[in-house]
Copies of this chain bind each other. A is one copy, B any other.
Amino acid sequence: MSKCESSLDVDLGDRSYPIFIGEGLHADAAYYRKYAPGTQVMVVTNETVAPLYLDKTLQALAGYELRSCILPDGEAFKTLDVLNQVYTALLEARFTRKCTLVALGGGVIGDMTGFAAATYQRGVHFIQVPTTLLSQVDSSVGGKTGVNHRLGKNMIGAFYQPRLVLADTATLNTLDERQFSSGLAEVIKYGLIVDAEFFDWLEEKMDALLARDPRCLAYAIQRSCRCKADVVEADEKEAGQRALLNLGHTFGHAIETGMGYGEWLHGEAVAAGMCMAADLSRRLGWLSSEAFERIRALIERARLPTAPPAELSSDRFLELMAVDKKVLDGRLRLVLLKEIGQSLVTEAFEHGKLKETLTRYGR
Residues in A lying within 8 Å of B, measured CB to CB: 38-39, 80, 84, 87-88, 91-92, 94, 96-98, 118-123, 144, 146, 149, 151-152, 155-159, 237-238, 322-323, 325, 327-330
Contact = CB atoms under 8 A, between A and B. Distances in A.
Given A87-B156, A119-B119, 4 more contacts: A91-B152, A118-B158, A119-B158, A122-B157
A98 B328 contact: yes
A96 B144 contact: no
A157 B87 CA distance: 11
A237 to B, nearest CB: 8
A91 B323 contact: yes
Contacts of A155: 87, 91, 120-121
A158 B122 contact: yes
A329 B99 CA distance: 9
B119 A146 contact: yes
Contact of A96 (B39, B98, B156, B325): B325
A144 B122 contact: yes
15 contacts: A80-B80, A87-B155, A88-B149, A88-B151, A91-B152, A91-B323, A96-B327, A96-B329, A97-B325, A119-B146, A119-B157, A120-B155, A120-B156, A122-B158, A123-B158
Contacts of A97: 325, 328
Nearest to A94: B323
A146 B158 CA distance: 13
Contacts of A98: 328-329
Contacts of A122: 144, 146, 157-159, 238
Contacts of A323: 91, 94
Nearest to A91: B151
